[in-house]
Structure 1
Amino acid sequence: MRHGPLQYVFSALFIVQMYLVMAVMAIAYVPVALLRRDGAQIAVHHYTSWVLWTARWMLGLRTEIRGTVPTDEVLICSKHQSFLDIIMIVNATPAPKFIMKAILRYAPFLGWYAMRIGCVPVDRGRRAEAIRQMVAGVTDGTSPPGQLIIFPQGTRVAPGVHVPYKVGAAVLYRELEQPCVPAATNVGVFWPRRGILRKPGLAVLEFLDPIEPGLDRAHFMKRLETVVETRSDALMREGGFNPYGISHDDRGA
């Protein structure tokens, strides 16, 4: 297993090829994404498969999906630690679409494909306006069916850092009247939200038991946070990280 400077070298090479291949695949799949309703989904699934494969042989970073992968129209509320958990959710689910920061619409390649698969852009700022945009985006009938993914903490959160859960997840749970599938992960132990180094190991994303519709806001939020945080802590310990080693808030993510 590689350690030290060599792992940094392979990490840098991995990042460069990951974004180069993103550009190449994005251009190559434009005709398919334009002509077929599911063309953009085909493109993003092929790309995420490439990233996971290259992470394994270039970095020694293996990935594993646990639990029952949701395939119906559901709300997925996932722990978010780095770009890797996005890649894993997209690769695992048949028709993923995200609540995403509005500015990502303008990201090269990624933004156009995100809109094609049905992602809902939301402007960060005043909470009431952001919630209004979010609800309108998922209930106006223009978004294709699939698995709607939201990160209830609203940002990437490093392992061991506490960031409160936001009310947007509860609003969607109430408005959609669909089951909510919580998801836990430990990917930040190996693929941090910042920096170059990608560590070898087993990154896990686990789909947990669904929360059926009908809970009030307070009970839903408490249950969601409890199951996601408890299971994510267990997965991080499995990955060799003590989730209680850091206690300060990291609100600059």
Structure 2
Amino acid sequence: MTGPAYAWRWLRSLAFSILIYAAMIPVALAYLPWTLAHRDGAVAAAHRWCRIVRWLARVMLGLRTEVRGTPPTREVMIAAKHQSFLDIILIYGAVPRGKFIMKKELVYAPILGQIALRIGCVPVDRGKRGAAIRQMTEDVRAGNADPGQLIIYPQGTRVAPGVAAPYKVGTAALYRELGQPCVPVACNVGVFWPKRGVLRRPGTAIVEFLPEIPPGLPPAEFMSRLEDMVESRSDRLMAEAGFPIALGGPVEDH
């Protein structure tokens, strides 16, 4: 796409990006009394904002969103493919009590940082993820942790469609220490909402909750099963979206 059509789509994408962040302010204010009184208020505010983003994406950009599979409602670890901010929104919006291990710097982000703390996210310093995992597992065993679904990204960062990145061994450590089932999640959202840049594309962005992996597997077996499930299903979702994937591996960047 070139010329006026591209410029118009880019401008709509920019307006969308500005609007969704601006929408945090009235949502946060509307839920502030409840949020101050109880964590449920912060969770409700975050879920409302996720619904607003999905609605605006559809009406402003022609970007529809779909959640497939069965989102978990009990305490589990969710290990997800991470391609852009959109998969965070879709996964969190689909589960009742999602929480993340997040970079400590995000605590200082206006509104977003405080809501994240209230919903139970765990801030960690760069390079100190191991300490956070130990503290989290101790809290779980002692009954001090907020109940919910811990959402992690095994590759540790956003990975663009068609790009390979290793799965980090800290995922296996967390799986072992928590002793909880792991629910893998695949997605194709990066085809429409890239990890960088303003432009958003129309289509149907999907996250899919896959069958859970039971606790107690040896680390190597767990990591192999997780990577195979997430990558193979993500490839199929991206192929469904028109991204050039040879099922069994990407053929080119997008």
Q: Same fold (TM over 0.5)?
A: yes
Q: Which residue of 1 aligns with 2:242?
A: 240
Shift of 1:99: 1.3
Matched position secondary structure for 1:65: strand
Distance 1:235 1:139 in 2: 37
Counterparts of residues 43-58 of structure 1 (less than 5 Å) = 43-58=45-60
> Are the equivalent residues in 2 in contact too, given 1:121–1:134 (CA < 8 A)?
no
Q: CA RMSD in A?
A: 1.4
Counterparts of residues 60-139 of structure 1 (less than 5 Å) = 60-125=62-127, 129-139=128-138
When the two structures are superposed, what TM-score results if normalisation uses the length of structure 2? 0.92
> Are the equivalent residues in 2 in contact too, given 1:61–1:201 (CA < 8 A)?
yes
Residue 177 (structure 2) aligned to one of 175, 178, 189: 175
Identity over aligned pairs, percent: 58
Partner amino acid for 1:35? A
Distance 1:190 1:137 in 2: 34
Distance 1:137 1:173 in 2: 12
Q: Which residue of 2 aligns with 1:10?
A: 12
Matched position secondary structure for 2:23: helix
Alpha carbons of 1:3 and 1:71: their partners in 2 closer, same or farther (altered >3 Å)?
farther
> Are the equivalent residues in 1 in contact too, given 2:58–2:64 (CA < 8 A)?
yes
Q: Which residue of 1 aligns with 2:209?
A: 207
Which runs of 5 or more structure 2 residues have no equivalent in the other structure? none
Q: Which residue of 2 aligns with 1:251?
A: none
Distance 1:17 1:216 in 2: 46
> Are the equivalent residues in 2 in contact too, given 1:45–1:91 (CA < 8 A)?
yes
Partner amino acid for 2:252? I
> Are the equivalent residues in 1 in contact too, given 2:137–2:177 (CA < 8 A)?
no
Matched position secondary structure for 1:191: coil
Distance 2:112 2:229 in 1: 31
Partner amino acid for 1:158? A
Matched position secondary structure for 1:192: coil
Distance 1:135 1:79 in 2: 23
When the two structures are superposed, what TM-score results if normalisation uses the length of structure 1? 0.92
Which runs of 5 or more structure 1 residues have no equivalent in the other structure? 248-253
> Are the equivalent residues in 1 in contact too, given 2:107–2:114 (CA < 8 A)?
yes
Moved more, 137-146 or 174-183: 137-146
> Are the equivalent residues in 2 in contact too, given 1:99–1:134 (CA < 8 A)?
no
Shift of 1:132: 2.0
Partner amino acid for 2:202? P
Superposition misfits of 4+ residues, deviation over 6 angstroms:
none
> Are the equivalent residues in 1 in contact too, given 2:96–2:148 (CA < 8 A)?
yes
> Are the equivalent residues in 2 in contact too, given 1:183–1:205 (CA < 8 A)?
yes
Matched position secondary structure for 2:39: coil
Matched position secondary structure for 2:64: strand
Shift of 1:34: 0.8
Q: Which residue of 2 aligns with 1:40?
A: 42
Matched position secondary structure for 2:162: coil
Shift of 1:27: 2.9
> Are the equivalent residues in 2 in contact too, given 1:120–1:134 (CA < 8 A)?
no
Q: Which residue of 1 aligns with 2:146?
A: 144
Aligned residues: 243
Distance 1:105 1:130 in 2: 16
Residue by residue, what CA displacement relative to the aligned partner does 1:137-158 show, whole Å, maximum 9, x if unpaired? 3532443101100000000111
Partner amino acid for 2:66? E
Distance 2:134 2:119 in 1: 17
Residue by residue, what CA displacement relative to the aligned partner does 1:16-68 show, whole Å, maximum 9, x if unpaired? 11111112222332211111231100000001000000100000000000011
> Are the equivalent residues in 2 in contact too, given 1:120–1:138 (CA < 8 A)?
no
Partner amino acid for 1:75? M
Distance 1:42 1:110 in 2: 14
